[in-house]
Structure 1
Amino acid sequence: MGTISTASSDQIIADGDTAPTDAPADMQRAVAGRLSVPAALAIAAESWERCAYYGTTIMFTIYQETALGRSKPQTVATNRAVELVSFFMPILGAVVADQWLGRFKAILLFGAIYPIGLAMLTISSAQFSHDGGFAVPGFFVSTFVFLAVGAGGIKGNISSFMAEQIRPGYSATKAPGVYRSGEATVERGFRIYYWGICLGTFVGTAICPQIAKRQSHTLAFAVTLGFFAMACAFFLLGTARYARTRPQGTVLAKTWRCMRYAWRRRHSGQAHWLDGALDAAGQEWDNEFVLGLQRSLRACRVFLFYPAYWVVDYNVADTYINQGLTMRRPDWLSADQLNLAYTLSLVVAIPVSDYAFPLLRRMGLRLGPITRITIGFGIVACAVAYAAVLQRVIYSRGPYYDFSGPDVPAGATNNISIWLQVVQYSLTGLSEVFVSITGLEYAFTQAPAELRSVLTALNLATICGGTLGGIILSPLSKDPSVMYVFAGEAAAMAALALAFYLCFRRHDDNDG
């Protein structure tokens, strides 16, 4: 965060980043400080927004199959396509913020688009819309044009906006040699941020499917509008106190010119090809920008491994739900509500990690970002391997076995309890503590100030690659071929975890 002004709320408060102060000479240990009120308000707003988003999208599988008459492969493909658009839009949101509006105004802009989708989805799910033939087109327009665009535009900016409310540098505590570190506080901030969105997801997935099951999807979709109104209220509460970065105008063009300049001056003696842009007198960039750009390019290489992870992670939104639909469950439980185990594991694991990671560092066991991401890849591989074994067990039970016979009725279930799915949901949630949170933190800390939203958006855009992979696999997301899909994903993720660590382990000491 840059130099803070006490000017009015309509004025730009922060103008780029200043370099963090050097560590004090007598510092023995750095600890995280408390989050500022503006950072907490941004987290609360995003928590309610995720409550609205996942409260809505968690119902899509059952809503499409029961109300719109779509098949399992069709619902999987549609769900993954909605996620693809939602997580491609952060790139647009980042460009709008970094070049024209700034993050605060960009969040307001996309926040105005978002509720149009929720309102249209509510209307299209009503009985008169089904009678009039508006239900299907209303569903697709509301989700792809408004909901995905609005949510994606906010997502591309809100985490960086939160982190910018945290002052860099060091401040003394009452304990001798112990200082509060802005870097450590940012790391904690991202964990609390992710905990907030997981808590919102937990509330949305707990409430909305039950309303849909007991009342109607129309009422459940309408409730999500109330959740989003809460998000707006919390975000606007901090208007007068937010630190805001100045829009950088032509930051992407500046990046391109810097890279072109360096490429033309590269030579074999350089440690990095971008070194040719260092100490470039009279140019629009400084050395800190060039070094940040080098880190950003390395981060992009790290993120190239993420799409495969998201293919597996997003099974919680569709294929695991479809698996649950073939298992015995209590009358009061909706199959999509096993996602609560997924979000609850995150809600519990994030506070534990907030204390465990610093404790491990003090004990001399430091988990750098590359190590954390590798662990997360391994955990999600275990989750989908368990799902494959469970699918095999489901097929071994009667009365419908692999559900491929000619007389299998709609809603058929085998004699096996849905509660066995808790393991795969919980492991998937735990993996996100190591992969997703670390990715957001990595994007923010590696990028120069002007490119933070862009790099965060590129990190989120890896989900697009994952959803595209899910769309490609969707024709196989039916009985009995889904078992082999699970097994293949498990083997692929295990191999990917090993390859990832071998490629990037040397960077852990510098990036942690």
Structure 2
Amino acid sequence: MPVEEAECPQSFSKGESEERCGKVLGENERWATEADMATLRHVADRIPAAAFFVVATEFCERFTYYGITGPFQNYIQNGYRVPGSRPGAIGGGQHLATGLSNFFQFWCYVTPILGAIVADQWLGKFKTILVFSLVYIVGDLILTLTSIPPAIRAGAALPGLATAMVTIGLATGGVKSSVSPMVAEQYTCTRPFVRRLKSGREVLVDRELTMQSVFNWFYWAINVGALSAIATTELEANVDFWPAFLLPTLMFVVCLSVFWMGRRRYVITQPTGSVVVRAYRVLAAGVRNSRAARAQGRVVLDDDGEPVHWLSYAKPSLCPDGAQLGWSDRFVDELRVALRSCKIFLCYPVFWLCYGQMSNNMISQSGQMNTGRVPNDIMQNIDPLCIIVLIPLFDKVVYPAFRRCGMELRPVVRITCGFLIAALAMAYAAIVQHLIYSTGPYYKTAGDDGHGFNDISAAIQVPGYVLLAVAEIFASVTGLEYAYKQAPESMRSIVMSLFLFTNAGGSVLAFCFNGIAANPHLVENFSIVAGLMGAFTVLFYLCFRHYDARDAREASRSVELERAEKPAPSEAA
């Protein structure tokens, strides 16, 4: 049926209905009832065009990021044009290469917190992405110019790399903190509705499944962009490093252009002030007031007769000077929800420790094997290639198949599967390393100081990369989705940046392994990482297995409350 004002709950005008419901119903659509929620097949909605502009922007940014980082390990580890050695520039060895790689990853995932503060306090997500994109281009130019042959011979490669790493890492944080919540904000429908298909069958369009689909395709675009490392490592091996860095630099100009082209289509949220300082004050007030209440015997009980959460004591309604606090009861409740959702991120640093092996130690591992005519650092691209194939398969086949069987793979189950598979990938890498060390002619010194490779094919690495790709789909994509869905609207940028910050935690852990991140200790390196990931997989499931059922109950309760507050016309009649 055509769109009518009365289709949205209550008697709103068309403009008001769009604002309050996030959608105006079209032909063959109606608001869902409780019976629809229980009986109809749940499906994801169409992704809005504006979201694809943001996805394209992320593709270009990741093309740049992975394009420049792809050659980093060889660029740092090996000397410049050493006969019989892999391509290189700085000649710092594997310890320095792995250490700088871990630093860069750490820095890139610390700065999103700064980016979130800038976006929330001053610029908003759209302008934050624009400003930090310009900084990104400056960093790319520094890296490119200091990688030309005269600069390398003059000793400018290492200081130029360090300067570029700091600049690009800062820019990455500014972009990453805003782009993922911005892509999700382009889908504005907040209430489930029913759509009648051409076949006459009705399906329920579910926001949660739509968000899952949005982040699946967002992550898919990231990994298409990551394939840039194929081009840059080939350029590194067959031409030189400066064209390998120039290509991603030019792509980032395209990135900025694509993002600007979509400016008239975006749903743009204005900055409302950073929540970081306010959150700190609320936490301090909650600790202080809850201690005082317990000491004075003024414990407050909730509706079930249980003591309220300690953070509730920061609510103005429970404080004598509440009017002067500068925040509301609602803000305290939202902060509590945000903190609860962030608990699930605590085990992620170990996952990122596993994932980080792919961009440093596994590259060095392939350098110890026969790679034929392809560069050793091209092997890491097996991971994004697998993800490009598997994400559509999971989104359109695997997850719907589980739902049709009545076995919804909710976030905690998916994340647990991802952690377990990451542990298996590291165990497999340890086995591969043992085989390398057991094969001549160089055994445990292969790849060191201009030594060649052992007589074992690098193709044996492929299953390890496939396992890491599956682990990413289960753990990383789900983490992004969970960070967005569970965060209150006012805190989405900061919660998303805290999820990204767990990647920095993985880099900190990697520093602890730097002493064994080289020959002849790589078997121990991979084995310990595998065991650590396995232990944290068990710990994660034991601590958070009840979250799936709780989140499902709260989602159902939220829909019921929304229906009670905004009844559909048929119900009101």
**Equivalents in 2 of 1:215, 1:209: separation in Å?**
10
- 1:231 aligned counterpart, secondary structure: helix
How far the C-alpha of 1:45 sits from its partner, in A, is 0.7
Q: Is 1:59 equivalent to 2:68 in the alignment?
A: no
5 Å-filtered alignment, 1:9-158, equals 24-27=33-36, 28-64=40-76, 65=78, 66-144=88-166, 146-158=167-179
**Equivalents in 2 of 1:287, 1:14: separation in Å?**
24
Residue type of the partner of 1:164? E
**Equivalents in 1 of 2:514, 2:225: separation in Å?**
28
Residue type of the partner of 2:276? L
Residue type of the partner of 1:89? T
How far the C-alpha of 1:257 sits from its partner, in A, is 4.1
Residue type of the partner of 1:329? T
Residue type of the partner of 1:348? V
Match in the other structure for 1:496: 536
**Equivalents in 2 of 1:179, 1:219: separation in Å?**
51
How far the C-alpha of 1:181 sits from its partner, in A, is 2.5
Distance change (3 Å), C-alpha of 1:273 and 1:368: farther
How far the C-alpha of 1:319 sits from its partner, in A, is 0.1
Residue type of the partner of 1:245? T
Match in the other structure for 1:460: 500
**Equivalents in 2 of 1:15, 1:284: separation in Å?**
27
How far the C-alpha of 1:182 sits from its partner, in A, is 2.5
1:234-285 Cα deviation digits (max 9, x unpaired):
2111101111112121422333344445442574723533344568386765
Match in the other structure for 1:237: 261
**Equivalents in 2 of 1:182, 1:368: separation in Å?**
14
Match in the other structure for 1:178: 203
User: Does the aligned pair in 1 maintain the 2:445–2:451 contact within 8 Å?
Assistant: no
How far the C-alpha of 1:499 sits from its partner, in A, is 0.8
User: Does the aligned pair in 1 maintain the 2:232–2:247 contact within 8 Å?
Assistant: yes
- 1:413 aligned counterpart, secondary structure: coil
**Equivalents in 1 of 2:313, 2:513: separation in Å?**
44
**Equivalents in 2 of 1:326, 1:427: separation in Å?**
21
* Higher relative contact order, chain-length normalized (CA < 8 Å, sep 6+): 1
Count how many residue pairs are aligned between Structure 1 and Structure 2.
Answer: 497
- 1:351 aligned counterpart, secondary structure: helix
Q: Which of 208, 221, 231 is the aligned partner of 1:207?
A: 231
**Equivalents in 2 of 1:171, 1:288: separation in Å?**
28
Match in the other structure for 1:341: 382
**Equivalents in 2 of 1:38, 1:243: separation in Å?**
8
**Equivalents in 2 of 1:466, 1:290: separation in Å?**
30
Match in the other structure for 1:190: 215
**Equivalents in 2 of 1:270, 1:207: separation in Å?**
60
Residue type of the partner of 2:311? L
Residue type of the partner of 2:52? A
Residue type of the partner of 1:429? A
Match in the other structure for 1:218: 242
Q: Which of 415, 425, 432 is the aligned partner of 1:373?
A: 415
1:5-45 Cα deviation digits (max 9, x unpaired):
99xxxxxx999999xx9953342233211111111110011
Distance change (3 Å), C-alpha of 1:35 and 1:284: farther
How far the C-alpha of 1:352 sits from its partner, in A, is 1.4
For structure 2, the 5+ residue unaligned runs are 1-11, 24-29, 79-87, 294-298, 553-573
- 1:415 aligned counterpart, secondary structure: coil
Residue type of the partner of 1:24? T
1:169-216 Cα deviation digits (max 9, x unpaired):
2333114652322332112101110001011102x1121111111111
Residue type of the partner of 1:172? V
User: Does the aligned pair in 2 maintain the 1:310–1:466 contact within 8 Å?
Assistant: yes
**Equivalents in 2 of 1:190, 1:73: separation in Å?**
35
- 2:455 aligned counterpart, secondary structure: strand
User: Does the aligned pair in 2 maintain the 1:32–1:180 contact within 8 Å?
Assistant: yes
- 1:328 aligned counterpart, secondary structure: coil
RMSD: 2.6
User: Does the aligned pair in 2 maintain the 1:288–1:448 contact within 8 Å?
Assistant: no
Distance change (3 Å), C-alpha of 1:102 and 1:443: same
**Equivalents in 2 of 1:464, 1:29: separation in Å?**
40
1:420-477 Cα deviation digits (max 9, x unpaired):
0111111112111111111111111111111100010010011111111112211211
Match in the other structure for 1:9: none
User: Does the aligned pair in 1 maintain the 2:51–2:186 contact within 8 Å?
Assistant: yes
**Equivalents in 1 of 2:551, 2:422: separation in Å?**
23
For structure 1, the 5+ residue unaligned runs are 7-12
Distance change (3 Å), C-alpha of 1:278 and 1:22: farther
- 1:422 aligned counterpart, secondary structure: helix
Moved more, 65-74 or 289-298: 289-298
Match in the other structure for 2:509: 469
Structure number with greater Rg is 2
- 2:142 aligned counterpart, secondary structure: helix
**Equivalents in 2 of 1:386, 1:197: separation in Å?**
25
Match in the other structure for 1:297: 339
**Equivalents in 2 of 1:271, 1:256: separation in Å?**
20
User: Does the aligned pair in 1 maintain the 2:117–2:274 contact within 8 Å?
Assistant: no
TM-score, length of structure 1 as denominator length: 0.91
Distance change (3 Å), C-alpha of 1:92 and 1:16: farther
1:385-426 Cα deviation digits (max 9, x unpaired):
00101111111111111118xx97614211100010111111
- 2:264 aligned counterpart, secondary structure: coil
1:32-84 Cα deviation digits (max 9, x unpaired):
11111111110011011101100110110011122111110110000010011
